[in-house]
Structure 1
């Protein structure tokens, strides 16, 4: 494995275990048996490491973006969100320290905002597909679109620390499912019978 990737993997591990503030580049370098000078050659500051990891996380999430076709269903939507939340958990330090890491970095904050705007557009396409495929009632997109997008974004940002505080005894999968269930509750008033049946495949409301 290339030195750059070794550094990123070690940094992710240290940031998740110790937190962004307490993890040091010295410890990261020592864990993979390179000099601190070698590390700073690749990543001059700890902030540079964080920025690359944040963009790496978003790139991983983007691998799940599928072509929205006639087979698009609530289950496909659920699987997409589940993968996203699984990746969020892999990079948990970003969310445990969100205000310090993202909001205090103008470039990273802008990157997250742009990404969020792109996901809102994607969500609208997904809702249109769910309506077209008879999973949600006709003309419910206007009511759902912005509301669901904002709630998903809010939960995506804050679910990791909330889970660590209130659900720490649960498994990672239980934590993910609990927070995904909050999102899908928003859909219940707008589901068709087909949508209700599809929802029961992965949630028992």
Structure 2
């Protein structure tokens, strides 16, 4: 692996583990056992590293956020779609742990992150409209608008919530299942009784599977 790529991989690992504000370029160089000068040859400062990592995140999250287009999807399909989004967020979770600290320093990243939020919201609306068309849920357009906003907020801040709740403990990727459940739970009030049973059955199957693998 080239040094530039190693810097990005190591930076992502340290940012995710320690939080971006707590990691310096010296920390990255020491972790790699290279000189600071070698690191600065590839990146002039930490913000350049963050910008490149953000670009990788932006590309991958846009691919994942493509709303499922197949007709006749069931609750498990929608659950797994939301889970794939959470997996991508987990891969670049430092961006969600310290968003204000990172985005306040860079107007371009602010705009890009807001575009990702818009894309998340549009993807959620696409899913909700598909479920409405398939008669899985019933709601007005205004209710759908509020619902997708709440789903977007939950997906965006779940890892931050978990970090605060478990301060001092290492975050667990299994926490993603709880996040998916919280996002999907937003639709529960709009489901018919059989739909609610289906949602809880999917949640039980999925979360029990995670517990069994521990």
Determine if the TM-score, normalized by the shorter chain, exceeds 0.5: yes
* RMSD between aligned residues: 2.4
Instruction: Supply the distance in 1 between the matched residues of 2:63 and 2:74 (Cα, whole angstroms).
Output: 18
Specify the alignment match of 1:114 in structure 2.
115
Instruction: Supply the distance in 2 between the matched residues of 1:119 and 1:97 (Cα, whole angstroms).
Output: 19
**Offset at residue 131 of structure 1 (A):** 1.5
SS in 2 for 1:159: helix
- Does residue 123 (structure 1) correspond to residue 114 (structure 2)? The answer is no
Instruction: Supply the distance in 1 between the matched residues of 2:129 and 2:9 (Cα, whole angstroms).
Output: 39
- Does residue 43 (structure 1) correspond to residue 51 (structure 2)? The answer is no
- Structure 1 runs (4+) greater than 4 angstroms displaced: 167-171
Structure 2, unmatched stretches of 5+, are 205-214
Specify the alignment match of 2:96 in structure 1.
95
Distance 1:62 1:141, change over 3 A: farther
**Offset at residue 110 of structure 1 (A):** 0.2
- Does residue 190 (structure 1) correspond to residue 166 (structure 2)? The answer is no
**Offset at residue 162 of structure 1 (A):** 1.5
**Offset at residue 81 of structure 1 (A):** 1.6
Instruction: Supply the distance in 2 between the matched residues of 1:107 and 1:19 (Cα, whole angstroms).
Output: 21
Count how many residue pairs are aligned between Structure 1 and Structure 2.
201
**Does the CA contact (< 8 Å) of 2:137 and 2:191 recur in 1?**
yes
Specify the alignment match of 1:61 in structure 2.
61
Distance 1:141 1:63, change over 3 A: farther
**Offset at residue 98 of structure 1 (A):** 1.4
**Does the CA contact (< 8 Å) of 1:74 and 1:199 recur in 2?**
yes
Please say which of residues 194-203 and 80-89 is displaced more in the overlay. Answer: 194-203
SS in 1 for 2:20: coil
**Offset at residue 22 of structure 1 (A):** 2.4
Q: TM-score normalised to the size of structure 1?
A: 0.83
Instruction: Supply the distance in 1 between the matched residues of 2:120 and 2:160 (Cα, whole angstroms).
Output: 22
- Does residue 4 (structure 1) correspond to residue 4 (structure 2)? The answer is yes
CA offsets, 1:19-63, max 9 Å, x none? 222212122123334332332232211011112222322323333
Distance 1:156 1:124, change over 3 A: closer
Instruction: Supply the distance in 2 between the matched residues of 1:23 and 1:119 (Cα, whole angstroms).
Output: 29
CA offsets, 1:73-92, max 9 Å, x none? 33222212212222222322
Instruction: Supply the distance in 2 between the matched residues of 1:169 and 1:47 (Cα, whole angstroms).
Output: 25
